[in-house]
């Protein structure tokens, strides 16, 4: 049992809950390592069909834990590099190539926390949810996640969010395409489980092919995207 991540199985569903509410679920080395490993394990488990990513407390995730190494006097460069590599995988959800991942955002998702949420295939957010990239206010550049944000919402909207550091409410996030569903806070886990159970009732192979096509073809010219989709579909016979 991890102190920073709770794992719950319910049939074909796996719920992963970040449990650092006192630190606003900031991504420290332990959480990054454990979450990374849990997603890799889930991808390899044929009995798991859908993954739900949630958080304990009023904040989904405040991004990287900038204070983790602040008071240490030893060389933390290797640890920092390892954490950065793990976050890079999380922000692309590259551990899970074939199964739907649903983010449950009830509260603020900031910086790397926003990147983590929108890396998921479906984002279910409460009416209390907020999204933002406030790093600029501390003199930091969100270099690692900016290209991913551009891919989701386009050049001007991505530059606006990251250059101003402003926080947007859930309705603006939905209008930008960062959020899939908006529900009341008290209903959010029930809605996530409803959607997860619906997906788990479908063909796992068909969902896998669909996910691969969606993830791969976004940056391809139309003709190449269509050819890729046909190839993947033929290889999966769905």
Distance CA(174)–CA(11), nearest Å, equals 30
Distance CA(184)–CA(193), nearest Å, equals 14
Query: Annotated catalytic residue: which of 41, 135, 171, 223?
Result: 135
Is 52:15 a contact under the CB 8 Å cutoff?
Answer: yes
The set of residues, in sequence order, having a beta carbon less than 8 Å from that of 118 and lying 6+ positions away, is 103, 148, 149, 152, 178
Q: Take residue 14 and report the two structure tokens written for it.
A: 């796996």
Closest alpha carbon to 119 in 143, 148, 79, 77: 148
The set of residues, in sequence order, having a beta carbon less than 8 Å from that of 24 and lying 6+ positions away, is 57, 59, 61, 62, 108
Catalytic residue list contains 135 = yes
Q: How many other CB atoms are there within 10 angstroms of residue 234's CB atom?
A: 10
Q: Dmax of the chain from CA atoms?
A: 56
Strands 130-132 and 167-169: what pairing? antiparallel
Q: Take residue 82 and report the two structure tokens written for it.
A: 């390892």
Distance CA(7)–CA(202), nearest Å, equals 23
Residues designated catalytic: 135
């Amino acid at each position: 049992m991890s102190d920073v991540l709770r794992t719950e199985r319910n049939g074909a569903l796996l719920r992963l809950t970040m449990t650092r509410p006192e630190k606003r679920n900031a991504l420290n080395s332990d959480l990054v390592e454990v979450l990374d490993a849990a997603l890799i394990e889930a991808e390899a488990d044929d009995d798991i069909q859908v993954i739900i990513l949630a958080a304990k407390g009023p904040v989904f995730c405040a991004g990287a834990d900038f204070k983790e190494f602040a008071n240490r006097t030893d060389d933390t460069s290797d640890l920092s590099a390892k954490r950065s590599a793990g976050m890079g995988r999380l922000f692309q959800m590259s551990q899970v190539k074939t199964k739907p991942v649903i983010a449950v955002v009830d509260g603020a998702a900031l910086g790397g926390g926003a990147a983590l949420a929108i890396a998921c295939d479906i984002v279910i957010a409460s009416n209390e949810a907020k999204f933002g990239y406030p790093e600029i206010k501390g003199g930091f550049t969100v270099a690692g996640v900016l290209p991913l944000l551009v891919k989701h919402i386009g050049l001007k909207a991505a530059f606006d969010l990251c250059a101003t550091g402003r926080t947007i409410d859930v309705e603006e996030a939905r209008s930008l395409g960062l959020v899939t569903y908006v529900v009341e806070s008290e209903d959010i886990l029930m809605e996530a489980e409803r959607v997860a159970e619906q997906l788990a009732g479908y063909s796992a192979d068909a969902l896998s092919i669909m996910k691969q096509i969606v993830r791969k073809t976004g940056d391809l010219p139309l003709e190449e995207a269509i050819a890729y989709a046909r190839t993947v579909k033929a290889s999966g016979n769905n």
